[in-house]
Amino acid sequence: MSKSDRFAEPVTDRLFATEREPEDFRFDAAVARVFPDMIRRSVPGYTTIIPMIEVITEQYAQAGSNCYDLGCSLGASTLAMRHGISHNDCTLVGVDNSAAMIERCEHYIALDDHPLAVSLRCEDIQKTELSNASVTTLNFTLQFVPPGQRSSLLRRIAGATRPGGVLILSEKIRFESEDEQDIQTRLHHEFKRANGYSDLEISQKRSAIEQVLIPETLAAHTQRLKDSGFDRVLVWYQCFNFVSMLALKAG
């Protein structure tokens, strides 16, 4: 099976295609059903970031350690980590608090042919047990945690990370300058149009998600990662207002 086949699902996202009552976005069964299509057509760079998570995991997973995918959804990033781990004594854990996501994730994990066991937890990432970690992934998940609760989660992750371990943090960001914010937002919306979303879909999704997904600046992310106990922070990927960072603990 090729890497892209592992995540393929032929269900097209039409959730916002017709006029609907304004309601906050939730990761429910309807979203879980169309999720692979939704995230691929909505997040610039997602299809590059997933296979790179495998490459990064390959570099940083340590023998006898735990690897965590926090906010694993259907397991695309979990499976990338699984294929990147070369130590058979590692433990891989995927965590998501959406039962609809975890249920479908189990199915995707079972379809995959890698021998490393994956343990799935339907839990809040803010409460889930973390220890002895070498690689932790937050692939577009921290943005859904209320801003006031982000520091305590990152402190817990840094505290659970071994020397030489990493956190892969992918986020939608906002920009200090209003001008850059406008340009990057317009380019993101053009990306969605090019992927077949209508203006109605783009604007209804935007209204549904704006109270739920709170983006912060790159400077805010970097400072908080350092304050939380990571020694080094670098950006390894950016496409418009979507960024992936690597936060490292000194070895």
Residues belonging to the binding site for S-adenosyl-L-methionine are 46, 71-73, 96-97, 124-125, 139, 206
Beta carbon nearer to ligand GEK, 1 or 250: 1
Beta carbon nearer to ligand GEK, 104 or 162: 104
- Shortest distance, position 250 Cβ to ligand GEK, whole Å: 26
E-assigned strands of 117-205?
118-121, 133-139, 161-172
**SS3 of 108, please?**
helix
- Shortest distance, position 139 Cβ to ligand GEK, whole Å: 4
- Shortest distance, position 101 Cβ to ligand GEK, whole Å: 4
Binding residues: 46, 71-73, 96-97, 124-125, 139, 206
233: which strand partners? 247
- Shortest distance, position 78 Cβ to ligand GEK, whole Å: 8
Residue nearest to ligand GEK (CB): 71
- Shortest distance, position 65 Cβ to ligand GEK, whole Å: 20
Beta carbon nearer to ligand GEK, 139 or 204: 139
> What CA–CA distances, in Å, run from 221 to 111, 154, 242?
35, 10, 13
Nearest CA-CA partner of 206 in 47, 21, 12, 24 = 24
Say how far apart CA 171 and CA 221 lie, in whole Å.
9
- Shortest distance, position 38 Cβ to ligand GEK, whole Å: 7
**SS3 of 242, please?**
strand
Query: What interhelical angle do 29-42 and 46-60 show, nearest 10?
Result: 90
Question: Could you identify the residue written with the tokens 């992750």?
Answer: 157
234: which strand partners? 246
Token pair in block for residue 148: 């006031």
Beta carbon nearer to ligand GEK, 126 or 132: 126
Say how far apart CA 73 and CA 7 lie, in whole Å.
12
What is the contact surface with ligand GEK in residues (CB under 6 A)? Answer: 27, 39, 71-73, 76-77, 95-98, 101, 124-126, 139-141, 144-145
Beta carbon nearer to ligand GEK, 77 or 178: 77
The answer to whether 196 and 164 are in contact (CB under 8 A) is no
Rounded-to-5 percentages of helix, strand, coil across the chain: 45, 20, 35
